[in-house]
Amino acid sequence: MNKRSDSIIEETNVPKGLKFWFVVHFAVDMIFAIPMMLFPTAFLTLFGWEVIDPVSTRVVAAALFGIGTQSFLGRNEGPESYRGMLNLKIIWSIAAMIGIGISLLEGAQGEAPRGWAVWGVFLFFSVIWIYWRIKLREKGVEKLSLE
């Protein structure tokens, strides 16, 4: 790294609000990931899920573990790290919304209101991540060079 890049990185602080949302996201991911990994059928039945594939449920739990844990571990990193994680979170949440939405429109899970609530959680976080991604761009993180 050159001195110019070092000084830009030092001057560019990650907003406390973004750090807060990374910790909240970790907590939410763990609240869902742990029971989905350990008790997929029992847990999803509580939410009215009618068809449960334990393998797919555990794969989703693994994704939640990975993304949530990295949110917690990376909460004190610099803006470049946040940019990468925000990109991942935006892609994940929008892809999940598309997949869940298509499935629900096709009649999956029978009782759509609960499914739409899950869709809404992804929408909620997607909006948060897009907001913060734009804020980082406005702070000039896009222009940082780590050469």
> Is pLDDT larger for residue 29 or for residue 116?
29
Residue 111's pLDDT band, with cuts at 50, 70 and 90, is low
The pLDDT value recorded for residue 13 is 77
What pLDDT shows up at residue 46? 85
* Cβ atoms of 117 and 57 closer than 8 Å: no
- DSSP letter at 110 equals S
**Mean pLDDT of the residues in the chain:** 85
CA distance 59 to 37: 8
Task: Give the SS3 label for residue 145.
Answer: coil
pLDDT tens across 71-81, in order? Answer: 999 988 888 88
- Written as six digits, the tokens of 72 are 């917690």
The token pair that represents 143 in the structure block:
């222009």
Segments making up each domain of the chain, as ranges? 3-143
Asked if residue 11 has pLDDT above 60, the reply is no
